Homo-oligomer: A and B are copies of this chain.
């Protein structure tokens, strides 16, 4: 465990009714989840991700008062992949407010088979910002705003650095390149959306920018920290900076709960019971409104494409703390 966590855990010891001993709970979770780390399968659709050692695990949380707790390799950065969709959706929602919903919905999408069927049937309007089609539209809206794809990427990175208060966050260009070379399905989605006039910019540029922000690397500690504004009605509780309005924060959390885990959103809602978003890099972020941001990471995925050990760890954590919304 890192020293921060230990300090935090200690400082909590004296307030029995107010806060559970999160560090102790995380450690219990870690022990129980250990036999399961490595179970499942590392994402292999792009070579760069397939190289990752599956036997890794980290879990971090940060409470609204800035106390940080964690277990495992919580300083190690990994590919955040679809977790980046939370950040781009946040940026676009701030920019466009409700206008954004003209271009992308907020409803669950059903089975992956439907992705193209639905786009076709619903004339190029994706169901929500967390399926690939929706995230591509969101990225397009950012490029339209910033008028240039490189400035857009820089602003996405700037936003992530800002909410995580970590200036050196960056993307892994090898992962981005690998995605570009293998991401033909995402290109098909972008082209189809463009054919329905729901993309302002060149589909290839949009998809490349999308792949780049998916290739951002962060640690669980940084990601847990970056969820604080969503746990605190849109405002970073430590810096006081308002990133989105309380209503927008509520919207983001609601979409995470209903659409955050592909075809296992219902399972996640049941097992974990928190707004969350997973990525095929093995990371999952979760928000406990009014309380904390959480992130867990373990690269091997279950059959739905969500971290096997990570999902289990979150389930154990909400069970032990009673933090599930149900």
A residues bordering B, Cβ < 8 Å?
105-111, 113-114, 116-118, 120-122, 127-128, 184-185, 187-192, 194-195, 203, 249-251, 253-255, 257-259, 263-267, 269-270, 273, 275, 289, 324-326
Give Cα A255–Cα B254 distance, bound, in whole angstroms. Answer: 14
Q: How many copies does the complex hold?
A: 4
Give Cα A249–Cα B190 distance, bound, in whole angstroms. Answer: 39
Please, which residues of chain B bring their CB within 8 A of the CB of A114? 110, 114, 117-118
The main secondary structure of chain A at its interface with chain B is helix
Please, which residues of chain B bring their CB within 8 A of the CB of A194? 184
**Quick one: closest B residue to A289, CB to CB?**
B326
Shortest Cβ gap from A42 to chain B (Å): 20
Smallest CB-CB A-B distances: 9 pairs: A110-B110, A108-B108, A188-B191, A254-B270, A184-B195, A185-B195, A188-B192, A325-B325, A187-B191
Give Cα A254–Cα B120 distance, bound, in whole angstroms. Answer: 30
- Check A121 against B116 for contact (C-beta < 8 Å): no
With known contacts A111-B121, A121-B113, A191-B184, A257–B269 Cβ distance under 8 A? yes
**Quick one: closest B residue to A250, CB to CB?**
B326
